[in-house]
Chain A
Amino acid sequence: MPNARLLMTFPVTATSHTLAEYRARGGYGALEKALRQMTPQQVTAEVNASGIQGRGGAAFPMGRKWGVIHPNDGQPHYLCANADEGEPGTFKDRWILENAPHLLLESIVIAAYALEVRHAFVYIRGEFDLPYRRLAGALEEAYAAGYLGADILGTGFACDIVVYRGGGSYVCGEASALITSIEGKRGYPRNRPPRLTVRGLYQRPTVVNNVETLSNIAWIVDHGGDAFSKVGTPKNPGTRLISISGHINKPGVYEIEAGYPWARFIYEDCGGMQNRLGLKGVIPGGISTKVLTGAEIESLHFDSQEMEAAGSSLGSGGTIAIADGTCMVRLLQVMLRFYHHESCGQCTPCREGMGWLHRIIDRIVDGQGRSEDIERLYSISRLNDGTTICGMGDAAGYATSGILNKFRGEFEYYIEHKRSQFDGRLACPKSS
């Protein structure tokens, strides 16, 4: 099947991120079109027609999020681009920020025009160095060229973009923690209700969208929402940026049209597994999505419904390929160390639960595991399911129960024999 490309449409060179080259590719044409030929309502209608879903992990329809904002109530409301890409395995937004920062800026201005937002924010991950410099450079170019500021393109529309660098917290990638952090407070997620679209940044209605989601707006305005909805599958319109890492021959960021087969992606586009190893499993969308075995993933497509039916999700598009011979106990240990370290400590189940999970898995890896530990890991995961302020508690629970469900035998072996089933080297297939 053909693989449509909406974002990765140009060869990346040393200067492909600059305004000159972006304009040469037709950049800021969508902004001109939106500001000069369309009303904000028309832009919103196109976005609604496109059916685009959030790319940050939750796949929430963008149009519905926007629909809650009521412009023209005379009070400010805000738009935030979530560039705090911290989900392990995910590095797709980084590609946009490094190579197409103007695409993001253009899309933000169009979105601000549609939502009648005066001030938009980009919350960029603190560890991002090159992406930040590229974005800051692009911001300067865009202001100088009149694509941002008090009077954009002479149309009288005004929009300023404020770039805010994060302090290195995973939880600040969660929308409410992100805006709390922008407000200068401790990056704690907020309780819902109220939703952010009712009371968000500075107590005003706020839309928080992922960088990749927003970046599609320029294309949608250029080609129309209907054209976008025809890309991919009817229920998953558009393309996904997939960042793949792990034991794979060609890791990197790929643009994949929804509905594309996983097997072809892994074995053809990514060049298959290193050393022709067997595919033991795949974490499809960042470590917070449930792991799938190699056999399961090979029959699946890039399709939210299909992934959900298989018990996982496309998440944030951060795929990790795991080769035969990988010790899943140690993999879970690494993941739980991460969750323990990144729990913000606000609500009890996650604050105490993550530490407990981590200490149990550490003990198992130390060879001190007990037979009841597996059930304990399960019960702590369940306790976090849907009972925490933000989704991180659930995410850690999914990750844990996902690995335990699929690879329980390895844990039992480890606990019984006080060592891993694997010798630490990846199994090499016999040369044929």
Chain B
Amino acid sequence: MPEIFINGQAVQAERGQTVMEVAVAHGFVIPHFCWHPDLSIAGNCRICAVQVEGRSWVEIACNMPVADGLRVLTDSEMVSSYRKSLMQLFTLNHPVDCGICDKAGECMLQDYHYAYNGSPSESREPKVHATKFHPLSDRITLDNERCVLCTRCVRFTHEISKSKALGVTQRGDVSLIRAAEDHPLDDDPYSDNIVDLCPVGALLSRSFLYKSRVWYLEPTPSVCPGCARGCTVQIWHRKREWKLNALDPRHNASIERVTPLDNPQVNGPWICNKGRDLAAIFERPRAQQALCHGKPVDLARAIDAARTLIAGAERPLALVSNWASNEELEAFRRALGDRFRALYKHDCSPVAGERIEDDFLIRGDKNPNTAAARALFPFDDPALPLDGGVDLLLVWGEGFDFARVPPAARTIVLGSYVDDAHARADVFIPVSIQTEREGHYTNFAGVVSAFEPCFPKSDRVAHAQSLFAELETA
């Protein structure tokens, strides 16, 4: 194993690594725009320049192979002055419109400007203008004036998502990132990753555009329930201390955006566009009112009614949600597993226009916890009729066709979102959703990931996990 010296400090490297990789692995800071650990080396931004001791010039760290005894300086005077001059060039035609830029606060250009330059522009020339708000796709808009042409987005579509949707057109300082006519970015289900990849505010998510300053937001680790992959994500929502009374209360407890949480075991640093749109799943109209025969009742009254039904049933059947967490499934099995014959059902199936399955992330099973449900319960095939002798049916979660309810059966429904069928149930108990509780999902490959609550639960809604103990009859 070669040993190299960074700023005089000896560090172990592996053969074939670059100086940048070694530096990052050992906590040294070398600025970079174009370099990304999961993409090929472009070497075009030049900001990662370092100096090899004894040489009178700078070289880029991202493309410098390690060699035993290599001595690298990351902050020598020559490196600092080079970086400072280079930062002048990065901002030469950059509009410096941080005040209205979504990236402000997490922008590498901003950070590096303060860290390595900090002085006003030396240019006296008028700025060169370029396209603003170029529609790359229905989801992404591009501000060419802010672009530093690091080509991370281009390399992503060629190397990771393989849609080959982006390329560079024109030449020199009028080079533009553009979508290819025959491979539109709209068809790339991973396109939003380029918004995260963009080191500056050039690529902007239209769903997050001008929605919030990032410093008002905080991320909560969570798991995308969109398919059996179970990608780990961060759900960004307004910080508690920045809650504003002037806003509609929903805005204080809404999903502002979703970003991937780097997890090499599951999804790496990427997620698909469905994972970005968790608001479309979790912010549907909520069912928050307990019902008995369609009439609003207190939550406690509904639980009592359900307990009575369970106590009196002869042949109860439960259809368990595969959107339930490992803890909820276990709580059900422990409290009611002996009382009910239980089957698990698919809450969601693919919708029209959605990519069903590919060899990257997206899985055909559009439910997050099928693996854990399958380990505990047999599967309820929706094509087969339910047992006619069932006299009590407990339906947990969505996706059940109520026409299948046996004629003699009473029904208890546990649901989270508004559905007309709830009124026809004997008892309807509203339960919390993923963003209101903590738990774990087991993905298709058996990897267990945790999610944490983002928002408080309403008092009118039950946590399924504790509900089952209350429903247990002696």
Contacts and interface: CB of A to CB of B under 8 A. Distances in A.
Interface of A: 169, 186, 191-193, 340-349, 351-356, 359-360, 363, 370, 376, 379, 383, 386-389
A348 B90 contact: yes
Contact of B41 (A191, A341, A388): A191
B57 A386 contact: yes
Interface in B92-109: 92-93
Q: Please indicate which of the listed interface residues A349, A352, A359 has the most CB atoms of chain B within 10 Å of its own CB.
A: A352
Given A169-B171, A191-B60, A347 B43 contact: yes
A149 B49 CA distance: 47
A277 to B, nearest CB: 35
A352 B93 contact: yes
Given A347-B45, A356-B92, A387-B58, A340 B172 contact: yes
A149 B44 CA distance: 40
A356 B44 contact: no
Given A348-B45, A363-B125, A389-B44, A355 B86 contact: no
Nearest to B167: A186
List 8 A-B pairs, minimum CB-CB distance, nearest first: A345-B175, A352-B89, A191-B43, A343-B172, A355-B173, A359-B125, A345-B172, A347-B44
B124 interface: yes
B178 interface: no
B413 interface: no
A383 B86 contact: yes
B149 A351 contact: yes
B138 interface: no
A339 to B, nearest CB: 9
B65 A193 contact: yes
Contacts of B171: 169, 342-345
B168 interface: yes
B175 A379 contact: no
10 contacts: A344-B171, A347-B43, A348-B89, A349-B89, A351-B173, A383-B89, A387-B57, A387-B58, A388-B46, A389-B44
Nearest to B90: A348
A342 B175 CA distance: 12
B245 interface: no
B252 interface: no
Given A352-B90, A376-B122, A346 B44 contact: yes
B263 interface: no
A348 B124 contact: no
B418 interface: no
Contacts of B57: 386-387
Interface in B170-189: 170-175
Q: Please indicate which of the listed interface residues A186, A191, A351, A360 has the most CB atoms of chain B within 10 Å of its own CB.
A: A351
A191 B63 contact: yes
A356 B124 contact: no
B175 A351 contact: yes
A127 to B, nearest CB: 16
A321 to B, nearest CB: 30
Given A347-B44, A349-B86, A386-B57, A360 B173 contact: no
Interface in B142-180: 148-149, 167-168, 170-175
A186 B90 CA distance: 23
A353 B82 contact: no
Contacts of B82: 383, 387
A71 B409 CA distance: 82
A354 B173 contact: yes
Contacts of A348: 44-47, 86, 89-90, 148-149
B172 A387 contact: no
A363 B126 CA distance: 11
Contacts of A359: 125
Given A355-B172, A363-B124, 20 more contacts: A186-B168, A191-B60, A192-B63, A340-B172, A342-B171, A345-B174, A347-B43, A348-B89, A348-B90, A348-B148, A349-B86, A349-B89, A356-B92, A356-B123, A359-B125, A363-B125, A370-B124, A383-B85, A383-B86, A387-B57
A283 to B, nearest CB: 23
Contacts of B89: 348-349, 352-353, 356, 383
B311 interface: no
A379 B45 CA distance: 19
B310 to A, nearest CB: 67
B225 to A, nearest CB: 40
Contacts of B24: none
B172 A354 contact: yes
Interface of B: 41, 43-47, 49, 57-58, 60, 63, 65, 82, 85-86, 89-90, 92-93, 122-125, 128, 148-149, 167-168, 170-175
Contacts of A360: 125
Q: Please indicate which of the listed interface residues A346, A359, A389 has the most CB atoms of chain B within 10 Å of its own CB.
A: A346
A136 B167 CA distance: 32
A360 B92 CA distance: 13
Q: Please indicate which of the listed interface residues B85, B122, B167, B173 has the most CB atoms of chain A within 10 Å of its own CB.
A: B173
Contacts of B44: 346-348, 389
B46 A352 contact: no
A55 to B, nearest CB: 27
Nearest to B81: A383
Nearest to B60: A191
Contacts of A347: 43-46
A362 to B, nearest CB: 9
A132 B65 CA distance: 41
A351 B150 CA distance: 12
Contacts of B85: 379, 383
Nearest to B124: A370
A376 B89 CA distance: 12
A114 B467 CA distance: 83
A389 B172 contact: no
Contacts of A355: 92-93, 128, 172-173
A343 B175 CA distance: 10
Contacts of B123: 356
Contacts of B60: 191
Contacts of A341: 172
Contacts of A376: 122
Contacts of B172: 340-345, 351, 354-355
A235 to B, nearest CB: 25
Q: Please indicate which of the listed interface residues B82, B89, B90 has the most CB atoms of chain A within 10 Å of its own CB.
A: B89
A34 B65 CA distance: 40
B117 to A, nearest CB: 13
A356 B125 contact: yes
Nearest to A191: B43
A248 to B, nearest CB: 32
Contacts of B47: 348
B46 A345 contact: no
Contacts of A354: 172-173
Nearest to A344: B171
Nearest to B65: A193
B125 to A, nearest CB: 4
A424 to B, nearest CB: 26
A345 B173 contact: yes
Contacts of B125: 356, 359-360, 363
Contacts of A186: 167-168
Contacts of A351: 149, 172-173, 175
Contacts of B93: 352, 355
Nearest to A170: B171
B470 to A, nearest CB: 64
Contacts of A388: 46
Nearest to B89: A352
B168 A345 contact: yes
A322 B167 CA distance: 42
A345 B149 CA distance: 8
